[in-house]
Amino acid sequence: MTPRVRIAPSPTGNLHIGTARTAIFNWLFARHHWGQFILRIEDTDLERSRPEYTENIKSGLTWLGLNWDEGPFLQTQRFDLYCQGIQTLLDKGFAYRCYCTPEELEKMREEQKANNQAPRYDNRHRHLTEAECQKFESEGKKPVIRFIIDDNREIVWNDLIRNKVTWRGKDLGGDMAITRIPQLEGESFGQPLYNLAVVVDDLDMKITHVIRGEDHIANTAKQILLYEALGKTVPDFAHTPLILNQEGGKLSKRDGASSIDDFRKMGFLPDALANYIMLLGWTPPDSTKEIFTLSEAAKEFSLERVNKAGAKFDWGKLDWINSQYLHQIPASELVELAFPYWKEAGYEVNLESDRPWLEQLAALIVPSLTRLTDVIKESRLLFGNTLSYSNEALEQLRKEGVKDIIQAVVDNLANYPQLSEDNVKEIIRQVTVDFKIKKGLIMRSLRAGLMGELHGPDLIKSWFLLHQKGWDIIRLKESLSQI
């Protein structure tokens, strides 16, 4: 049987990088084995779940290039199935009704705390008689359903990343609530809770491998007991390491970005981000190779090569990978990606009529780009007919003889109604000869006059771009007035 895996995010926030990494590992695993990748939205927490987060998760996964084979399944639409599971556990004697009120539970916790004990439910209603239950009911108390956890059990599984994991039943917090208190009159039990819903779903969806973050390890121990109680085969488990910040803590918004949307807005390309994320914990067989598309990585992916230790987030490496992808992008495509940024920066360009010009511009700046957002900084000197001058540029312009040089260039330009890059070179050569000056002087002076700064993209190409808009003459004349 081919593997069936899933990503099961809770829509209580935008798609987080940790969830995206889990999704990528599941996707790679599924694609490597020609299996199925399923999307399940775990929206049982009605207070915190929002449809817009579900949309954000779906669009974020799609943007990264992760397509799912089944779903999205919404847990809120599957309550009947969970109720059947709960009823089975009750019928088999693996679960019972507990009438403890939230106040009683709180008191229990306080006492445990005062005695330096770990908080746990003390299983006090595990053996209620039918008459005792009736009494609570007649007092108007509503029960939660609890699943019996044997304190003496050792739960052991062979984790596909962490090898043998052992968990003691007594460390699982006592008999586990698998429902909330019923809210509606006549309901036999309240809303199903996370661990129960996950197990029922994973069974129903025939999930063979549960690959998820190591923060779920204690849940896995509980879930294995649920599988056993339901008399079903336990899937394989693989717990991925956490993504850590530079200080070794969990990566959060405070580290600069944490949701996939944040990274998109910062100018990372989806393929590059997916590439970087897959390397957070996975070491490819040839560890010197770092650039992988998702499909390339799928061919080589295995859980054996996922590390146990936490994966440190490294902005420098993400930038490097992003630049590798950006530098490969053809100018025609870069124009599409850069256009919104140019627009936002207020540059007056038209995607249709300016396309050839924009493509030349894109080709000129692409080697300098690390993030897509850099298109603004790298192209800002090439838009418009007005300039502001850096002090360095003004100094250059005011050097002796520079005014005449620029004037000569302006005069020469009049001879070329249709200027080519070669003509530009010819004008520079001519002025160099006429004034008997070094080429460096004219280049620096022209850069100051044309760009207002002494550093920037290739001067000849920049000039040629400005010329097509008629901005070179205007700028050079303006620079003369600064001298």
Q: How far, in Å, CA of 279 to CA of 274, rounded?
A: 9
Contacts of 370 (CB under 8 A, 6+ apart): 319, 322, 323, 326
Could you write out the DSSP letters of every residue in 271-288?
A: HHHHHHHHTTTB--SSTT
User: Taking CB under 6 A as the rule, does residue 198 contact ligand GLU?
Assistant: yes
As measured in angstroms, the least distance from the Cβ of 474 to ligand GLU is 57
- Report the nearest approach of ligand GLU to the CB of residue 216 (Å): 6
CB 243 within 8 A of CB 40: no
Residues 6+ apart with CB under 8 A from 326: 269, 272, 334, 366, 369, 370, 371, 372
Between residues 229 and 406, which has the closer beta carbon with respect to ligand GLU? 229
Reported as type and span, the H/E element at residue 138 is: helix 130-138
Shortest approach of ligand GLU to residue 54 CB, angstroms?
Answer: 12
Closest contact distance (angstroms) between CB of 200 and ligand GLU is: 12
Using an 8 Å Cβ cutoff, are 356 and 316 in contact?
no
Token digits of residue 70: 């089944």
- Find the part of the chain contacting ligand GLU (CB under 6 A) among 2-10, 237-245, 380-388, 394-402: 2-10
**Residue 8 sits in the site that holds ligand GLU (CB under 6 A):** yes
Size of the site for ligand GLU (CB under 6 A): 7
Which of these ranges, 4-12, 139-147, 404-412, 446-454, lies near ligand GLU under the rule CB under 6 A? 4-12
Residues 478/386, Cβ–Cβ less than 8 Å:
yes
Q: Does 30 bind ligand GLU (CB under 6 A)?
A: no
Q: Give the nearer residue to ligand GLU in terms of CB position, either 214 or 228.
A: 214
Closer residue to ligand GLU, CB minimum distance, 16 or 444: 16
Quick one: which of 21, 125, 212, 222 contacts ligand GLU (CB under 6 A)?
Answer: 212
In this chain, which stretch among 6-14, 120-128, 136-144, 461-469 interacts with ligand GLU, using CB under 6 A? 6-14
Quick one: which segment of 5-13, 278-286, 433-441, 450-458 binds ligand GLU (CB under 6 A)?
A: 5-13
Q: What is the DSSP string of 360-383?
A: HHHHHHGGG-SSTTHHHHHHGGGS
Q: Choose, from 107, 206, 253, 343, the residue flagged as catalytic.
A: 253
Residue from 9, 143, 267, 457 binding ligand GLU (CB under 6 A):
9
Is the CB of 53 or the CB of 313 nearer to ligand GLU?
Answer: 53
User: Which among 135, 142, 243 is positioned nearest to 184, based on CA atoms?
Assistant: 142
CB-nearer residue toward ligand GLU: 9 or 85: 9
253 is catalytic: yes
Dist. CA 112–CA 110, nearest whole Å: 5
Cα torsion at 378, 380, 382, 383 (round to 10°)?
150
10 binds ligand GLU (CB under 6 A): yes
Helical (H) or strand (E) element with 164: strand 163-168
Does residue 42 interact with ligand GLU by CB under 6 A? yes
Q: Report, in Å, the least distance between residue 424 CB and ligand GLU.
A: 58
| Smaller CB separation from ligand GLU, 8 or 280 | 8
Span interacting with ligand GLU, options 3-11, 45-53, 169-177, 262-270, rule CB under 6 A? 3-11
Cα(283)–Cα(454) distance, rounded to whole angstroms? 44
Structure tokens at 115: 């005695």
Taking Cα atoms as reference points, which of 87, 123, 77, 125 lies closest to residue 230?
87
**Cβ at position 162, least distance to ligand GLU in Å:** 16
Residues serving a catalytic function are 253
Positions in the binding site for ligand GLU (CB under 6 A)? 8-10, 42, 198, 212, 216
